[in-house]
Amino acid sequence: EDQVTQSPEALRLQEGESSSLNCSYTVSGLRGLFWYRQDPGKGPEFLFTLYSAGEEKEKERLKATLTKKESFLHITAPKPEDSATYLCAVQGGGQNFVFGPGTRLSVLP
């Protein structure tokens, strides 16, 4: 059964304090690993798709990396507007998306 765990559950950072969020997964036949940002009461907003180990993608202050067992979302010099829940999801051979529980990020000014 495909499974996704994320750590930490919650993270508080000072503005400008870089850190990383972890997504660990077990899946049969990874088709893709996805990162989303979700603000309270809103739909998940797509950030990145990673397909194979070693792949990296960047967007503004965010960088996502992928290994065979986990993915990291690195946040460089975060700002208060980066505060949100960050969700990781995987899609395996069964094709359904399986979401992790998310990491609640708070960036304090």
Which residues contribute to the site for other proteins (CB under 8 A)?
A: 31-32, 34, 36, 41-46, 49, 51, 87, 91, 94-102
- Rounded to the nearest whole angstrom, what is the least distance from the CB of residue 24 to other proteins in the complex? 14
Nearer to other proteins among residue 24 and residue 98 (C-beta)? 98
CB nearer other proteins, residue 65 or residue 103:
103
For other proteins, which is the closer residue by CB, 15 or 39?
A: 39
The residue type found at 100 is G
Residues 6+ apart with CB under 8 A from 62: 35, 47, 48, 73, 74, 75, 76
Residue 107: exposure state from Cβ atoms within 10 A (0-12, 13-18, ≥19): buried
